[in-house]
Amino acid sequence: MAKSNPRYVCQECGHEAYKWMGKCAGCGAWNTLVREEEPDEVEAQVPDLTSNAQSSNGTSTHGAPERLTEVEMEGDARLATGIEELDRVMGGGIMQGSFSLIAGDPGIGKSTLMTELAGYLPDRDILYVTGEESKRQVKLRAQRLEVDSDNLYLLAETNVQQIADAVEEVAPDLLVVDSIQTIYRPDLSSAPGSVSQVRESTASLLKLTKEREFSTFLVGHVTKKGTIAGPRVLEHMVDTVLYFEGDQHHAYRILRSVKNRFGAANEIGVFEMRETGLHEVPNPSELFLSERGYGVSGSTVVCSLEGTRPLLVEIQALVTPTSYNTPQRTVTGFASQRLQMILAVLEKRSGLAFSDHDVFVNVAGGVTLDEPAVDLGVAIAAASSFRDIPADTGSVLIGEVGLGGEIRTVSQIEPRLKEAAKLGFERAVVPENNLDRIAGAYDLDVTGAEQLKGVVDLVL
């Protein structure tokens, strides 16, 4: 009999150690090492590669190499859900045989979206595996969402083998597992939710998905830091990683693709949470600007590119004299380090002294922007509030701000201008070097800018 060797696995990053430590050497988290036994664990974790590898006549069904030109694409490669925002994020629909992971804060709407799929796909067989709720709880949610489908099968189970047996019986087109942290393999000694269980359970479901060529959605938990709970390898195993973003106290939710093997990464879909479930927002730019104030200092409009979608968002800034020795820098929806850099450039290149002022910056609508092309809008919003002069309400600001105060080139300028013209803006301030890359004509005045100081004088 093999000797039992205890090991300690970090539940945050998956780092393994052979003695307990208070602090993980991999990620630096405290009190996250959990003991796991590994007797004969290598044998237990080796998948049965011979199962389903041969048909009744002894020929291979999926293991033989094939030429690329000989691979057949049977039926539709993608499954259109009818939820246009979800289809956009998935790259045009759910790819056949895809393995996706959707994560987000508790109560953000993950289970709601997965349940609504049955209402949009009444002709498809969907197996909904719930490890956290009972069948009655899922039924109550389906009734609230007005989902009534004979092709939606519910299974309250956490054992991977039982789930595999249910897949054999139902033969679904779509499998939903809510959530992966509750699923376990009985041949492993660790508890459900541990790194080993999450990794090996995901590997078993992945193997089943690829062999049967149906699509699978895994619902995942997130940690206090906002990252997906479990080992980091989990995100590498799946085809698509989706994050649900948004504040529970606001109605709007953003579904963002962090990784997508079948489409553009960083694509977003916008939803509004109502009593009857999630409702898609077809024109989020118009929505985010609907409550914009006019004639108020510290307000500008920027155009950020999220995947392939241009998004017009309002930037709000408030600059006031500080009452503390160290001025405050409070940011919502934007990187605080980048704000510090922009304020330093404004002080050095434009003569605006922020060293004795508190600065508050907010991206309206709960959107998080991390693209450098919104730098110019943040800088002008801060300068507008500092001078207490309203910025031009008919202008859209597009550009990256360099340390020398120069306005640097941004990518894909034409979709941004098209979106601004569609919403009725009169002028777009863009980097000077981007003017040569504009091929089409747009119903707005496109102004080139080279230096930040010139834009401050132009817009204010």
Q: What is the pLDDT of residues 82-117, one digit of tens each?
A: 899 999 999 999 999 999 999 998 889 999 999 999
pLDDT bin (cut points 50, 70, 90) of residue 252 is confident
Tell me, yes or no, whether 101 and 247 share the same domain.
yes
Tell me, yes or no, whether 164 and 270 share the same domain.
yes
Is residue 4 pLDDT above 80, yes or no?
no
**Residues 324-351, mean pLDDT to the nearest whole number:** 94
Tell me, yes or no, whether 174 and 263 share the same domain.
yes
Q: Report the percentage of the chain scoring pLDDT > 70.
A: 92
149-158, 238-247, 372-381: which range is least confident on average? Answer: 238-247
Is residue 156 pLDDT above 80, yes or no?
yes
17-26, 62-71, 162-171: which range is least confident on average? Answer: 62-71
User: What's the whole-number average pLDDT of the chain?
Assistant: 87
Return the closest-CA partner of residue 122 out of 146, 102, 147: 147
Tell me, yes or no, whether 314 and 253 share the same domain.
no
Distances, alpha carbon 454 to alpha carbons 31, 403, 429, in Å: 53, 15, 11
pLDDT bin (cut points 50, 70, 90) of residue 74 is low
Return the closest-CA partner of residue 228 out of 51, 373, 79, 102: 102
Residue 374 lies in a domain: yes
What is the pTM for the complete model shown?
0.79
Peptide bond into 179 cis (omega under 30): yes
Residue 68 lies in a domain: no
Residue 23 three-state SS:
strand
**Residues 163-187, mean pLDDT to the nearest whole number:** 94
Which pLDDT score, from 0 to 100, does residue 437 have? Answer: 85
Tell me, yes or no, whether 158 and 249 share the same domain.
yes
Residue 242 tokens, joined:
């989706």
Q: Give the ranges where 284-411 is alpha helix by DSSP (H).
A: 284-288, 336-349, 375-387
Q: What is the pLDDT of residues 115-150, one digit of tens each?
A: 999 999 999 999 999 999 999 999 999 999 999 889
Tell me, yes or no, whether 167 and 243 share the same domain.
yes
What is the 8-class DSSP label of residue 50? T
Tell me, yes or no, whether 310 and 182 share the same domain.
no
Tell me, yes or no, whether 262 and 332 share the same domain.
no
Query: Domain total for the chain?
Result: 3
Q: What is the pLDDT of residues 218-240, one digit of tens each?
A: 999 887 777 787 777 788 899 99
Is residue 63 pLDDT above 80, yes or no?
no
Please give the residue range of the domain that contains residue 21. Answer: 7-43
At 273, which CATH number? 3.40.50.300
Tell me, yes or no, whether 103 and 213 share the same domain.
yes
Is residue 249 pLDDT above 90, yes or no?
no
Q: Are strands 309-321 and 299-306 parallel, antiparallel or unpaired?
A: antiparallel
Q: Are strands 395-397 and 427-431 parallel, antiparallel or unpaired?
A: parallel
pLDDT bin (cut points 50, 70, 90) of residue 28 is confident
Q: Where are the beta strands (DSSP E) in 294-354?
A: 299-306, 309-321, 329-332
Tell me, yes or no, whether 329 and 355 share the same domain.
yes
Tell me, yes or no, whether 277 and 413 share the same domain.
no
Distances, alpha carbon 292 to alpha carbons 285, 299, 373, in Å: 11, 8, 21
Is residue 390 pLDDT above 90, yes or no?
yes
Residue 436 lies in a domain: yes
